[in-house]
Structure 1
Amino acid sequence: MTQRYDPYKGEQNYVQGMVKTEEALAASPLDAKLRHLIKLRVSQINGCAYCVTMHLKEARGDGETQQRLDHLAVWREVEDFTPAERAALNWAELLTHLPQTRELDSAFGALEKHFNAEEIRAINFSIVMINAWNRLAVGAHGRHLSADAPLALAS
């Protein structure tokens, strides 16, 4: 696969702000395992092989089970995920597929049952950020490097 362009190199470092947002999200009250599930599910939807590989590795490193990772693509059909995780995954899918906005009110109500305002903000920004990273990687025709150094490219 030939890379179309390198989104990480150029006169302006557009990625630097994204990296700072990711650092803030890592320090947020949102559970790391849930952040990984959100990022992985959105990356699956967007077809970003690089991000899927990276987030699988990170999730395993933070103790996520292989069964849950295997079932993430079919999370609605299995009982491996908590009601809070289901609400967050549903929200992630809705914000990734924006044409389904008519469902946002009920989905947000489900989210509010499990998360406080700061956690909801972190969930929203996690979804926004992974969609942005996916679009950078897919648009560039993927820079499928080792998942060991994903954000080092931004510095």
Structure 2
Amino acid sequence: MDQIALDKKPINLLQHASGALPALQEVENWIANSSLDRDFVHLLKLRASQMNECAYCVKMHTRDARDAGEKDERLDHLVIWRYSPQFSDAEKAALAWMEAMTSLKPAMDYGSLRGELRRHYDDAAIAALTLVGSMINLWNRVQVSNH
């Protein structure tokens, strides 16, 4: 392999960061055991992955959502969730939180978003939603770094 090709080769995280991966999996296990609807978590992860343009994660989370029984109409409407009757007010609040955590706009009013979340979720669920957003954004960046 020539040097230019070697320089562009993705980093093998299993080889070079293997010690960190179990800790990340522990966070994912904690999320899976939280009060959040596991099927809806697939949609949250899919929405962040769409925003981050992570092809690998979009494919994976679309497949996971379908395998969990998610309807094609909801998958089709995910990019326009604000305008779709396919999502409940609670789901819309969670999707707004996910987008805010993904875009990190300086002028974002996180307090108002938390207020809307509290209409539908307790603080433990909001903490879990925050960790879902944190983790999927981390995984997206890991995958995108290998594009």
Same-fold call, TM cutoff 0.5: yes
**Which residue of structure 1 lines up, in the alignment, with residue 72 of structure 2?**
66
Deviation at 1:63, TM superposition (A): 1.4
Uncovered stretches (5+) of structure 1, i.e. residues with no partner: 142-155
Once the two structures are superposed, residues 93-151 of structure 1 have per-residue CA deviations (whole angstroms, 9 ceiling, x without a partner) of: 0111112443211111100000011111110000000000000000122xxxxxxxxxx
The gaps in structure 2 that reach 5 residues or longer are 1-7
Tell me the secondary structure at the aligned position of residue 122 of structure 1: helix
* Pairwise CA distance, 1:61: 1.4
Aligned pair partner of 2:140 in 106, 109, 134: 134
Listed one character per residue, the Cα deviations across residues 51-83 of structure 1 (whole Å, up to 9, x for unaligned) are 111111111111111110111011112111000
Q: Give the aligned partner of residue 59 of structure 2.
A: 53
Larger radius of gyration between Structure 1 and Structure 2: 2
2:103 pairs, out of 97, 100, 107, with 97
CA distance in 2, matches of 1:3, 1:118: 41
**Among candidates 30, 35, 42, match of residue 29 of structure 1:** 35
1:99 partner SS: coil
If asked which structure has higher relative contact order (CA below 8 Å, sep 6+), I would say 1
> 1:102 & 1:125 partners in 2: Cα distance?
18
Question: Moved runs in structure 1, 4+ residues, more than 6 A?
Answer: none
Q: Tell whether the 8 Å contact from 1:94 to 1:101 is kept in structure 2 after alignment.
A: no
Matching residue of 1:116: 122
TM-score under structure 1 length normalisation? 0.85
Paired with 1:132 and 1:11, the residues of 2 have a C-alpha distance of 14
Q: CA deviation at 1:15?
A: 1.5
Closer/same/farther in 2, CA of residues 9 and 88 from structure 1, 3 Å limit: same
Give the Cα–Cα distance (whole angstroms) in 2 for the partners of residues 133 and 7 of structure 1. 12
The DSSP-based 3-state class of the residue aligned with 1:9 is helix
Corresponding residue number in structure 1 for 2:89: 83
RMSD of the alignment, in Å?
A: 1.5
